[in-house]
Structure 1
């Protein structure tokens, strides 16, 4: 019986650190795997395994960049899809659609009492509401906030879910009576 594992073995490609010429080793961090210098902590060189490059998905031939008149393109980048100029890096134009609520609909942050809750989108495309004083205030909600006070604990914000209106305080979370909830929405 022959040893077929030798036929399928990949050659070991050892890369050297450009700073100190020691071998780069596979390491794991909070953002995933990367190559790091084996001479750490004397050498801090790291190299990403998956660089966050932007790729063009589709060029929008009929749409011109307002800054340089080049064509715009739908691109896929580190934080998802966006529209930007094809003349990058000479032109840094990006369509920045802020889905901010009108000033009248903004609600005060119940945690810091200084900021306002604004709708945001995570890098995975999920909608959430957070304080515009982030990172000073890290208050956030996954459900739509509505003005009102909890009938159980008096917390100054409610959230709307499919099943009804609830207290936005994570410690309380009491479902609000239908009569009060109807009065809030109206």
Structure 2
């Protein structure tokens, strides 16, 4: 029976060992870490060094290049792309330019949506969660984290004076309610 020469395994470093061993920002050792999004390599000097590298590359496939469009940030063509959360329109110059178009179907509704009642600087915008549900959040995010699930109406609550009401769809029909938890105002019409 032949014996395996173990020096073959230790004689030479693997080609990718150096790339994945040291942090390119601070020189600290990289170690395998786990998050809710999967495994990644993180620097041992965390939180002083925030470097991390995903082990799995996020696959973004270009479905179709939009010939008559241009990126408002860099001027390159826009494309319909398929990513982790579905289809979106983004710049073909990624990663240098990370511009992503917003949903233009709700653009007509944004003029009807009221201002944010918490910060009074942003406007409520219709957004889609990763589960496909529509919710309304302040355009001043992350400074203001106000968000509601029901469509906001620019009319003050007659009971508590809060600056907006929400439109709730129930089995009995549409009701207009106050989004404040301590207020129980509800009406069938405005």
**Which of the five TM-score ranges fits, normalised by the shorter chain?**
0.5 to 0.7
Aligned equivalent of 1:165: 176
Gap regions ≥5 residues in structure 1: 1-12
The answer to whether the 8 A contact 2:153-2:165 is kept is yes
Q: TM-score, normalised by structure 2?
A: 0.61
The answer to whether the 8 A contact 1:59-1:72 is kept is no
Q: CA deviation at 1:96?
A: 4.6
Looking at structure 2, the residues matched to 91 and 66 of structure 1 have their Cα atoms a distance apart, in angstroms, of: 18
The answer to whether the 8 A contact 1:72-1:83 is kept is yes
Looking at structure 1, the residues matched to 107 and 64 of structure 2 have their Cα atoms a distance apart, in angstroms, of: 27
Q: CA deviation at 1:88?
A: 4.6
Looking at structure 1, the residues matched to 163 and 94 of structure 2 have their Cα atoms a distance apart, in angstroms, of: 47
Task: Note closer, same or farther for the CA distance 1:110–1:78 as it changes in structure 2 (3 Å cut).
Answer: same
Task: Note closer, same or farther for the CA distance 1:33–1:156 as it changes in structure 2 (3 Å cut).
Answer: same
Q: CA deviation at 1:81?
A: 1.2
Aligned equivalent of 1:113: 120
Gap regions ≥5 residues in structure 2: 1-13
Looking at structure 2, the residues matched to 25 and 129 of structure 1 have their Cα atoms a distance apart, in angstroms, of: 39
Q: TM-score, normalised by structure 1?
A: 0.62
C-alpha deviations, 1:12-63, integer Å up to 9, x for none? x9955145696x54312364431335xx12895633122223113x346xx5
Aligned equivalent of 2:147: 140
Q: CA deviation at 1:91?
A: 9.8
Aligned length, in residue pairs: 159
RMSD: 3.9
